Amino acid sequence: MKLVEALKLLRERPPEGAESFRAFLACGFTPLHLETFLGAHLRRRRPGLAVGTATGLYGDLTGSLRRLTEEPGDLDAAAVVIEWPDLDPRLGIRGAGSWSPEVLPDVLRTAAERAEWLAEAIVKASERVPLAVAVPTLPLPPASFEPGWQSGAFDLNLRRTAADLAARVSRGRGVRVISQSRLDERSPLAARLDVKSELTTGFPYQLAHASDLAEALATALLPPPPKKGLITDLDDTLWRGLVGEVGAEGVSWGLDAHSQAHALYQMLLGSLARTGVLVAVASKNEPEAAARALAREDLALSKDDLFPVEVGWGAKSEAVSRILRAWNVGADGVVFVDDSPIELAEVKAAHPNIECVEFPRGDDEGAYRLLARLRDLFGKSALLEEDALRLQTVRQSAAAAEEVNGGGDSSHTERFLEQAEAELTLSFDAGASDARAFELVNKTNQFNLNGVRYTEALWRRRLEEPGGFLMVTSYKDKYGPLGKIAVLAGRREGERLRVGTWVMSCRAFARRIEHRCLAALFERFGAREIEFDFAETPKNAPLRAFLREFAEVDGGGRPRLTRETFAERCPPLYHKTFQTG
């Protein structure tokens, strides 16, 4: 992004009623264009937000970090940018200190102490506000006596100090450290420092580097939601060769057969599956031949990681439809990988929101780039317990749905629910720090009261409102645990409860969990009425249908449900429930 574009972007008015997003930039140098670029990249990432930025005082990184810890106010996020002079001013070019060999050990000592302080301050600040952190991005000044082509102890120790600082803060809750290697790809090291600007204004970056760094910070502060599922083709994608022609033993993946790209792709899919990504197969093939190849022991992912496996001769788009139904996931959360542009186009035509990615057959470089792209699409900042359960719960849901629908009559449904041995844990003590609850609120589409998404800071503020409550629901039955699957938040207003957030994972449908959640609210708070901050979204039909069945709409268009109406209309509930908090 050019500076002129950034300034123009910041001038554009945000949409009417846009949610505000206030970001703070903490750095030791003049923030100048970095603040401009940060604001512009945040705007570009979420045009629907009214982005505002603020900075601390020049040269006062310490004060800025203190402010973040002690008075975060209404900040939604902060970017912390550390450069070498923040570890020791002698590592900058604006001072007139000594670079004599005898002072270098002292520089190292000061830098290590300062890094220690910064790490502690950043971790502490991250408890109040989400942070993106960049550790030194500029080249070291020629302070040491070694020639530039040689790394000496001074240089290496400083880099270790910076790396230790990054590793330490990365363990802080809500801290996202900017990837140096990704920044290196975008912004060459030699084109980062602007000596003239640093000397005349105290702003050390060339404009292109300032933009690249700001973009990285904005991405870390407003990351894209990770995709939920990947559907892969088999021939010339999961493996090299056509299994229908060369047989299960003829297809290959590995160095010996010059098909290592396919082995790497399998390894990545295996890794994705273990991080809660759903992985399915859509292939035009003979089912028996494909099954034999998938059963090979040298496959680099477990065939149990693949669900469902759709192999046949029908249109790929139809296979994709069946997979989406089995997963109960919308197309916009899914990536489809195939080596055939025609198949990709056919699927895209039927499912415009699906992300279609071509597997570059015979192109090792391209295949390697694909792996990095898939990591970006599915990457997560942290793994949750529910990620490990996801595939299991999808299989359970599919099995349960089959049982529910098996009889085709309501008595069958009742029998199924009665015999499911369902147990619900309703936690009223989860709080804003519950990462799974926050994730559910921000990624659930179908059973979602109003589609409102929250930044971490806003979510915390909502829950801290007077009378605020949060109920996080976990579920298990004889088919296994689903983990935390529902979040309901709102506030008490006398004898009325006002619900502002209600989401439930699609994998928890058809178990009357939503009914039990409302029953629990009436019981716990002794409420006479629940009012819902409902808003129709393109995807929340399931919740709409539920409210239509139970609630009545008041003059202001807001659904309300009285205790009496709920008692009259609620079907039998068979769950055992436990409450915490």
Partner 1 sequence: MGTETRLLNCFSAVFPDAGEDELRRAAMGATESWDSMASVTLVSLVEEEFGVQVAPDDLEHFVSFRQVLGYVEGAAEKSAL
Instruction: Tell me which residue of 253, 308, 260, 265 sits closest to 283, measured CA to CA.
Output: 308
User: Is the Cβ–Cβ distance between 80 and 133 less than 8 Å?
Assistant: yes
Indicate whether 13 belongs to the interface with partner 1 (CB under 8 A).
no
Q: Classify 491 as helix, strand or coil.
A: strand
Indicate whether 411 belongs to the interface with partner 1 (CB under 8 A).
no
34 or 394: CB nearest partner 1: 34
d(CA 15, CA 12): 9
Q: Can you spell out the DSSP letters for 381-432?
A: SS--HHHHHHHHHHHHHHHHHHHHHHS-SHHHHHHHHHHS--EEEEES---T
6 or 437: CB nearest partner 1: 6
Q: Looking at residue 562, what DSSP letter applies?
A: E
Q: Which stretch binds partner 1 (CB under 8 A): 170-178, 198-206, 261-269, 390-398?
A: 198-206
Among 4, 255, 342, 382, binds partner 1 (CB under 8 A): 4
Phi, psi of 218 (to 5 degrees): -65, -40
Indicate whether 7 belongs to the interface with partner 1 (CB under 8 A).
yes
User: Is the Cβ–Cβ distance between 131 and 64 less than 8 Å?
Assistant: no
Q: Looking up tokens 């409550």, which residue turns up?
A: 469
137 or 211: CB nearest partner 1: 211
| 299: amino acid identity, one letter | L
Q: Classify 366 as helix, strand or coil.
A: helix
End-to-end Cα distance, the chain: 49
Indicate whether 11 belongs to the interface with partner 1 (CB under 8 A).
yes
Instruction: Tell me which residue of 218, 142, 126, 220 sits closest to 174, measured CA to CA.
Output: 126
CB of 90 to partner 1, least distance (A): 24
Indicate whether 176 belongs to the interface with partner 1 (CB under 8 A).
no
3 or 384: CB nearest partner 1: 3
197 or 540: CB nearest partner 1: 197
- Distance set, CA 230 to CA 150, 213, 539 (Å): 45, 30, 21
3 or 506: CB nearest partner 1: 3
CB of 13 to partner 1, least distance (A): 12
CB of 190 to partner 1, least distance (A): 16
User: Is the Cβ–Cβ distance between 574 and 418 less than 8 Å?
Assistant: yes
d(CA 566, CA 497): 14
10 or 257: CB nearest partner 1: 10
d(CA 565, CA 194): 69
Q: Which stretch binds partner 1 (CB under 8 A): 7-15, 115-123, 400-408, 426-434?
A: 7-15
Instruction: Count other Cβ atoms within 10 Å, centred on residue 57.
Output: 10
| 424: amino acid identity, one letter | L
Among 196, 365, 408, 568, binds partner 1 (CB under 8 A): 196
Indicate whether 195 belongs to the interface with partner 1 (CB under 8 A).
no
CB of 27 to partner 1, least distance (A): 16
CB of 25 to partner 1, least distance (A): 15
Q: Looking up tokens 């629940």, which residue turns up?
A: 530
Indicate whether 255 belongs to the interface with partner 1 (CB under 8 A).
no
d(CA 400, CA 370): 36
What is the size of the binding site for partner 1 (CB under 8 A)?
Answer: 16
Indicate whether 191 belongs to the interface with partner 1 (CB under 8 A).
no
| Strand 131-134, strand 175-177: pairing | parallel
Q: Which stretch binds partner 1 (CB under 8 A): 4-12, 300-308, 475-483, 553-561?
A: 4-12
Among 2, 258, 478, 569, binds partner 1 (CB under 8 A): 2
195 or 567: CB nearest partner 1: 195
What does the per-residue mask of binding to partner 1 show for 324-363, with x meaning CB under 8 A? ----------------------------------------
Angle formed at CA 377 by CA 374 and CA 380, multiple of 5 degrees: 110
CB of 197 to partner 1, least distance (A): 8
Among 126, 137, 144, 197, binds partner 1 (CB under 8 A): 197
7 or 267: CB nearest partner 1: 7
100 or 200: CB nearest partner 1: 200
Indicate whether 381 belongs to the interface with partner 1 (CB under 8 A).
no
Applying the rule CB under 8 A, the residues between 23 and 42 that interact with partner 1 are 32-33, 36
211 or 397: CB nearest partner 1: 211
Q: Give 538's contacts (C-beta < 8 A, 6+ positions apart).
A: none
Q: Residue 480 pairs with which residues in a beta bridge?
A: 477
d(CA 50, CA 373): 29
User: Is the Cβ–Cβ distance between 139 and 192 less than 8 Å?
Assistant: yes
Indicate whether 53 belongs to the interface with partner 1 (CB under 8 A).
no
151 or 201: CB nearest partner 1: 201
Whether the bond between 139 and the residue before it is cis, its omega within 30 degrees of 0, is: no
CB of 31 to partner 1, least distance (A): 11
Query: How many Å separate Cα 150 from the centre of its chain?
Result: 40
7 or 384: CB nearest partner 1: 7
36 or 444: CB nearest partner 1: 36
CB of 29 to partner 1, least distance (A): 13
Indicate whether 190 belongs to the interface with partner 1 (CB under 8 A).
no
Among 100, 150, 181, 200, binds partner 1 (CB under 8 A): 200
| 159: amino acid identity, one letter | R
CB of 199 to partner 1, least distance (A): 8
Applying the rule CB under 8 A, the residues between 202 and 221 that interact with partner 1 are 203, 207
d(CA 258, CA 254): 6
CB of 50 to partner 1, least distance (A): 17
d(CA 299, CA 318): 27
Among 3, 371, 377, 452, binds partner 1 (CB under 8 A): 3
d(CA 310, CA 445): 25
d(CA 458, CA 76): 7
38 or 107: CB nearest partner 1: 38
Indicate whether 201 belongs to the interface with partner 1 (CB under 8 A).
yes
Q: Looking up tokens 């080596």, which residue turns up?
A: 339
Per CB under 8 A, residues contacting partner 1 are 2-4, 7-8, 11, 32-33, 36, 196-197, 199-201, 203, 207
